[in-house]
Amino acid sequence: MRILIAGATGLTGRALTRKIQQSGRTPVALVRESSDLSVLPDGVETRTADLTALPDDVAEGVDAVIFAAGSGGDTPESLTDAIDRNGAISLIENAKKAGVQRFVMLSSVGADAPEKGPEGLQHYLKAKHDADAHLKTAGVDFTIVRPVSLTDEDGSGRIEVSTDHVSGETISREDVAEVLERCVSVPEASGAVFELSRGDESISDAMGHINRAA
């Protein structure tokens, strides 16, 4: 299976790329011309394109797409819109055109109700909300993952998933990457929208009941 990763050189994306490679599947890192490729595992295939101006064939020849890019809450609103909303929507449409098997979206807790989020993050959450909404109706098999605050700690392998609200406040990027990698093919992840945090359940067990999580 060939998996295109948007945001592959980011902190979460590079962990995701490594996990996909270790799983025996083929990561295809979507990178800009200015990207630092040294952060990627050796031998990873790259595809050069910018999320703000994607070519029509960007998703050709891959089986799944994972959107793990993000401008963050501190960038100008115009860049947030260009990447987190417009870039994501453009990649969704190109993935649909290419006939991918599944599109996995790394979103954010709070994207369901951005107006209730912290004032400084509301625009970012609104962009995520709009991208999520487009994916839900795009006609492509999807999974939307909404983690709480990310940390750079080693993964614990223990998570909480919920279609409502998780009780945890943080989760490691490594554990998020593991969940994203599994969402590509786990049947229970099809059509699922869920929040994600550190928890008490193994990743394997939690992934087995995503659509029933509450």
Residues carrying an active site annotation: 124
- With residue 113 as reference, give the H or E element that holds it: none
CB 67 within 8 A of CB 16: no
Which tokens go with 60? 């050709």
Question: Long-range contacts made by residues 107-111, C-beta under 8 angstroms, separation at least 24?
Answer: 107/131, 107/132, 107/144, 107/145, 107/146, 108/70, 108/146, 108/147, 109/146, 109/147, 109/148, 109/166, 109/195, 110/146, 111/146
The H or E element containing residue 100 is none
Residue (of 132, 140, 95, 102) closest to 25 by Cα position: 102
Of 152, 103, 148, 110, which Cα lies nearest the Cα of 128?
110
Number of other CB atoms surrounding residue 58 within 10 Å: 22
**Which DSSP state fits 140?**
S
